[in-house]
């Protein structure tokens, strides 16, 4: 009996020691930019056979833009495998986008060897993860006085008000509490009144109602004496309006910059995408709204090929089920028009499908019970956007009031007596930490499931038929068992990436072509280089080819796709 207990203890100690070798992290909190680096380095150090950590370059303020590659290198170099790309926080104030990327990286490595599907996925595919694109603004979100509306853009000085000065009139923490909140002034001729359901909240007046307040915007003063407040803060170049497809100048698209890919951060992302033609799908994570967005991003954009729409729709509906409440939408019809953004750049320039993922939902802050009024679009209480009064109840009952700063009088040097207060930065676009784990896991698993749909091909020689006089008819087949074709319809139609190559070696090839109907024997032969057939393979489908060859002995048949990897098989002419 004692020996049995001792053995159990030894097993328990060994298990704890094994578990101790695997890093774990707290996913109910946010990591500042220095901690992001530490998490990435810890993951890489713990899983050197699965990861490769590199810096794509430096930001304006000298921070590394980290990129983590995840795959089992023992089964092949990452560049030879189909790959999924994901990045986060191209808008620096949308910070939980970084956490989704970090969590996904940790999950893949932590579950490799434990979850069969994750193990199989990393054996045949790769992940390219850039947790933070806008490293400067996200770092300042943690270190500087902050508001949820500050830190979106690149830290590139811009003369927003065209007065010859750069970034000279920014919001400021007037009361020194470390936050940049709202200012309001009492004004009977203003635009808002106190909400009768909650005195902390103001609501816009309706015709015939008496106003009480004018909202003055974020804390700040008229620094440059031009009669405006906060009109020329840091930036404004929006990295997700600077990609080099359907880019428009600032008078059409606010924040687009002087030319496409002006910010260094977007240039290194674009270069990485260009240098990795094996990428078959992309995610760019943002907040807020709970959406998976795809192009077209504007009416001036080309339409998405109908065959690619089918793939988008299928994946998007899975996303809606994986993350309940999120909506799959076409960007310009479901949200608003944009120009020069990431997902269209991926699709129209490189020919792979991509989503912009908007994390978090206003309904996350719903404080309602079963008997509260439904009135949502799907007839449930959870689909209706919460009122400000309901959000205050959420704040009171679930956050002990910490999401809202009470209004406090302040003597403003220009406005006189004002009040400062309102929703804190961590309460508007960014979920409380206790909400994070579920959101991170669901969105990470949607990426994992999407990566499982990257092309998964095998090749076989179906038959070798002796035609006499050392002539042989060789038929081969590539089978793709995944949910994405080896090439998107847009990539095929516009030749954005090379076609897949179906080749045969070991015999003299007299003719060859793609089999159009293997039952009737219809073959579309090629005029030149018949040993090298350019083709593609549909999702959950097959591609048959046929060669007439002269010779004997062994032949090697190979299928090589830029986004499917290469597989080959040998056969004997007999």
What is the band of 379 on the pLDDT scale with cuts at 50, 70, 90? low
Q: State yes or no: pLDDT of 120 exceeds 70.
A: yes
Interval 275-295: pLDDT, tens? 999 999 999 999 999 999 999
Same domain, 223 and 255: no
Note the pLDDT of residue 374: 62
Q: Taking the CA atoms of 104, 106, 109 and 114 in sequence, report the sign of the dihedral they define.
A: negative
Pairing of strands 279-287, 83-88: parallel
Interval 489-507: pLDDT, tens? 999 999 999 999 999 999 9
* Number of domains composing the chain: 3
What gap in Å lies between CA 85 and CA 354, rounded to an integer?
Answer: 9
Q: State yes or no: pLDDT of 10 exceeds 50.
A: no
Q: Which residues pair with 475 in a beta bridge?
A: 463, 546
Same domain, 280 and 339: yes
Other C-beta atoms within 10 Å of 179: how many?
18
Same domain, 101 and 170: no
Same domain, 283 and 417: no
Note the pLDDT of residue 428: 82
Same domain, 256 and 109: yes
Q: What is the CATH number of the domain that holds 474?
A: 2.60.40.10
CB 507 within 8 A of CB 550: yes
Interval 451-489: pLDDT, tens? 999 999 999 999 999 999 999 999 999 999 999 999 999
Interval 192-237: pLDDT, tens? 999 999 999 999 999 999 999 999 999 999 988 888 998 888 888 9
Note the pLDDT of residue 162: 84
Residue 12: inside a domain: no
Interval 127-177: pLDDT, tens? 999 999 999 999 999 999 988 888 999 998 887 888 888 778 889 999 999
Percent above pLDDT 70 for the chain? 95
Same domain, 207 and 346: no
Residue 149: inside a domain: no
Q: What is the CATH number of the domain that holds 335?
A: 3.40.630.10
Same domain, 56 and 132: yes
DSSP 210: P
Q: What is the 3-state secondary structure (H, E, C) of 486-508?
A: CCCHHHHHHCCCCCEEEEEECCE
Range of the domain at 502: 457-573
Residue 211: inside a domain: yes
Note the pLDDT of residue 20: 55
CB 462 within 8 A of CB 477: yes
Note the pLDDT of residue 375: 60
| Residue 285 exposed, middle or buried by CB count within 10 Å (0-12, 13-18, 19+) | buried
Note the pLDDT of residue 154: 93
Q: State yes or no: pLDDT of 17 exceeds 80.
A: no
Same domain, 379 and 403: yes
For the CA atoms of 279, 568, 117, 82, the dihedral, rounded to the nearest 10 degrees, stands at 0
Q: State yes or no: pLDDT of 12 exceeds 50.
A: no
CB 101 within 8 A of CB 30: no
pLDDT greater at residue 232 or residue 109: 109
Average pLDDT over residues 356-380: 79
Task: Write out the DSSP string of 361-400.
Answer: -GGGG----TTS---STTSSTTSSPPPHHHHHHHHHHHHT
Same domain, 400 and 305: no
On average, the pLDDT of the chain sits at: 92
């Amino acid at each position: 009996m004692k020996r049995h207990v001792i053995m159990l203890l030894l097993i328990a100690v060994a298990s704890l020691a094994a578990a101790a070798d695997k890093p774990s992290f707290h996913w109910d909190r946010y990591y500042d930019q220095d901690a992001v680096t530490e998490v990435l380095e810890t993951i890489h150090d713990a899983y050197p056979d699965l990861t490769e950590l590199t810096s794509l370059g430096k930001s304006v303020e000298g921070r590394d833009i980290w990129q983590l590659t995840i795959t089992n290198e023992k089964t092949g170099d990452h560049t030879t495998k189909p790959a999924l790309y994901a990045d986060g926080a191209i808008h620096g104030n949308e910070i939980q986008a970084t956490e989704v990327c970090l969590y996904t990286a940790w999950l893949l490595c932590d579950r490799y060897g434990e979850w069969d599907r994750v193990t199989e996925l990393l054996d045949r595919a790769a992940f390219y993860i850039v947790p933070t694109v806008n490293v400067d603004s996200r770092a300042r979100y943690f270190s500087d006085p902050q508001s949820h509306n500050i830190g979106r853009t690149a830290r590139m000085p811009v003369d927003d008000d065209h007065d010859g000065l750069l970034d000279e009139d920014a919001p400021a923490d007037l009361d020194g509490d470390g936050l940049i909140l709202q200012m309001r002034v009492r004004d009977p001729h203003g635009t808002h009144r106190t909400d009768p359901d909650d005195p902390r909240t103001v609501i816009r007046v309706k015709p015939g109602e008496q106003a009480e307040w004018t909202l003055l915007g974020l804390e700040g003063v008229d620094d440059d004496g031009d009669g405006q407040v906060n009109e020329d803060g840091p930036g404004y170049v929006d990295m997700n309006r600077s990609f080099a497809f359907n880019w428009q100048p600032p008078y059409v698209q606010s924040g687009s910059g002087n030319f496409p890919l002006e910010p260094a951060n977007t240039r290194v992302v674009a270069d990485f995408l260009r240098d990795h033609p094996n990428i078959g799908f992309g995610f760019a994570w943002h907040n807020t709204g709970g959406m998976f967005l795809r192009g077209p991003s504007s009416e001036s954009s080309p339409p998405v090929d109908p065959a690619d729409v089918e793939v988008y729709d299928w994946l998007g509906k899975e996303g809606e089920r994986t993350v309940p409440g999120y909506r799959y939408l076409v960007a310009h019809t479901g949200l608003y028009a944009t120009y020069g953004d990431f997902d269209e750049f991926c699709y129209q320039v490189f020919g792979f499908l991509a989503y912009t993922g908007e994390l978090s939902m206003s309904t996350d802050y719903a404080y309602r019970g079963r008997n509260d009024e439904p009135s949502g679009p799907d007839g449930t209480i959870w689909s209706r956007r919460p009122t400000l009064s309901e959000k205050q109840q959420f704040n009171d009952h679930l956050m002990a009031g910490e999401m809202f700063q009470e209004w406090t009088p302040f003597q403003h040097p220009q406005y006189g007596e004002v009040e400062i207060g309102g929703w804190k930065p961590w309460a508007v676009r960014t979920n409380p930490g206790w909400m994070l784990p579920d959101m991170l896991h669901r969105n990470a698993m949607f990426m994992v499931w999407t990566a499982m749909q990257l092309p998964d091909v095998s090749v076989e020689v179906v038959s070798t038929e002796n035609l006499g006089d050392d002539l042989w008819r060789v038929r081969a087949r590539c089978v793709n068992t995944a949910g994405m074709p080896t090439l998107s319809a847009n990539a095929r139609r516009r030749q954005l990436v090379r076609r897949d190559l179906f080749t045969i070696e070991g015999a003299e090839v007299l003719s060859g072509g793609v089999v159009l109907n293997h039952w009737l024997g219809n073959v579309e032969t090629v005029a030149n280089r018949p040993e090298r057939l350019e083709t593609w393979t549909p999702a959950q489908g097959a591609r048959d080819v046929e060669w007439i060859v002269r010779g004997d002995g062994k032949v090697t048949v190979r299928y090589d796709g830029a986004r499917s990897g290469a597989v080959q098989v040998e056969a004997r002419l007999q």
